[in-house]
Structure 1
């Protein structure tokens, strides 16, 4: 048993074969009130180095294992946008949170908006 999730990303499920894994973990950000009621806020931290990617999530309050998350939008506060000149056609702009408190405040604002999508447990891996 390990504290990390082995994460594979692709635009379609059939494109997951041959992908290199990212080691990720779920971090609790506390509770909040969403339009549909109380939720738990989470962040999926993908990668373990400075510069990790973070995905904001929300789940229903439950005493059973979580089987679904809403993926929250991110509207980066202007003061947190970092940008350097592009590398050829690659955009270098990103959102940088300076503290856990800033990340929690952002998640509490975003949970009031319509989710971008949903992550659902569909069964054990083959």
Structure 2
């Protein structure tokens, strides 16, 4: 569903289920309420299993397992002959994140800054999430 949502962009998640903008590859899989319930309750880490020190030091501790797996899979791909390294902004409108950035003049001026290595077709081969101050490399196996 998220893959299809990334291919066909709409102004809001609710529009994939709305009568006049319904998109069947998303809307026919599950109801909007069920999808939103899953998003609200989705967790990658047991909050009680992480030390307070780690929580203070690592701003991405809640996403680390997912980030590790994603990067691990990106690194398995054979890179294209022509790649570039550049920053990307992942849109985020929430106000609670300490790594959220605002860069004027961007298509998505507010969000998370990610450095990525990709080919001209957009295939991502490696990435680092900017956590403020410096880029923190996501080490595999941690």
The TM-score, its normalising length taken from structure 2, stands at 0.26
Quick check: which has more Rg, 1 or 2? 2
- Larger RCO (CA under 8 A, 6+ residues apart): 1
The TM-score, its normalising length taken from structure 1, stands at 0.28
Q: Which has the higher strand share?
A: 1
